[in-house]
Amino acid sequence: MKILLCFGTRPEAIKMAPLYYELKSKQLEVIVCVTAQHRQMLDQVLDFFEIVPDYDLDLMQANQSLNKLSAKILCKIDEVLIIEKPDLILVHGDTTTSSMVALAAFHLGIKVGHVEAGLRTYNKKAPFPEEINRQLTSRLVDFHFTPTVQATQNLLNEGILPKSIIETGNTVIDALLWTINKISKKDYHHPEIEKLKKEIPSKKRIVLVTGHRRENFESGLRNLCEALLKISEREDVTIVYPVHLNPNVKRIVSELLSNKKNILLIQPVSYPVFIWLMQQSFLIVTDSGGIQEEAPSLGKPVLVTRDVSERPEGVKAGFSTLVGTDKNKIINTIQLILDDFKGFKKSKNPYGNGDTSKKIVDYLMFCNENIYSGKSVK
């Protein structure tokens, strides 16, 4: 069986990396194609996981519209699919790459598996454009690898056939555990980590912050920054904020938070460095989806600066708290956690325990064996 993995962003690369190695371990023919809709951040992950793409479409351009990106992905991936003729394509999550590659494969009659399928907010503007990307992809693919019971139920509610849904957990936990194992070794040294050890006060609690969602640009981001300024008045806290490269983010964060006491603004960090920062942190404030999945395995509380989350399992289990972009709510919730948090009573991560890639590959191997023997898959 020839399998094509196609992804374009840093989060996709992180979550597909353990799957790539699991497929390779079974001696399957694996082709990797990256669209590079993110360039620098994608390359960092590829380097860390030692993955060399067979095809690099190199589609990133500054201030590129979603329509232009979508059109370029459709055109360029068409050439790859015609050359390689894969038996199956695996796409991930909610990106423009995933939805457009799934559409291109559908046009050519190639089967597609969707890793991290079934996440929903049912608000097409939040997150934008990811929610619609997810829904489009679900209508196009043949296999849905869902991370949780809720994601499975979402697809069932939408009329997806039960036999095409395989509940597996999330590969991000596989990647997280693999990374922790690697960076914890005595012979592992990273210059960024060594530098941060010197810059971050060792006796203060770290509030780790990320923010990049389009829907939070301008007023939402300003509210977050003003809340962080208030928190920075505490002498027991250091706020560490790797600032996203998007100029809409950099401009506001630099304007409001540069050269402020107890706030350390840093350049975007590589994946292993960010995992190290998460390990050192007391709490995390973010609008990221992946961090909501990773943090429970590290025992870190998360404040989600979004009004809705397609990852309700973490909220329900008490690992995450939705605070939106209301300045006072962000301030009050951070203060409460800093003053009262003593750890989680529940320790099981609802998004998996590190064996997701194995489950996906075992299923594909089972399908392959039965297809060639003429048996029904299910």
Catalytic residue among 12, 94, 293, 310: 94
212 is catalytic: yes
244 is catalytic: yes
Strand partners, 90: 5, 113
116 is catalytic: yes
Catalytic residue among 22, 39, 114, 130: 130
Distances (CA, A) of 342 to 145, 280, 284, 339, 345: 35, 16, 15, 9, 9
Catalytic residue among 212, 234, 326, 355: 212
Q: Are 211 and 224 in contact (CB under 8 A)?
A: yes
Dist. CA 9–CA 328, nearest whole Å: 33
Q: How many CB atoms lie within 10 A of CB 315?
A: 16
214 is catalytic: yes
Q: How many CA atoms lie within 13 A of 280 on its CB side?
A: 24
Dist. CA 245–CA 375, nearest whole Å: 51
Distances (CA, A) of 355 to 136, 312, 321, 352, 361: 27, 21, 27, 7, 10
Distances (CA, A) of 141 to 3, 110, 307: 14, 9, 29
Taking CA 285 as the corner, what is the angle to CA 152 and CA 237, rounded to the nearest 5 degrees?
150
- Nearest to residue 169, comparing CAs of 308, 295, 9, 15? 15
Q: Position of tokens 């919730």? A: 333
Catalytic residue among 190, 214, 222, 234: 214
Catalytic residue among 144, 244, 306, 311: 244
Catalytic residue among 116, 174, 294, 310: 116
Active-site residue set:
94, 116, 130, 212, 214, 244
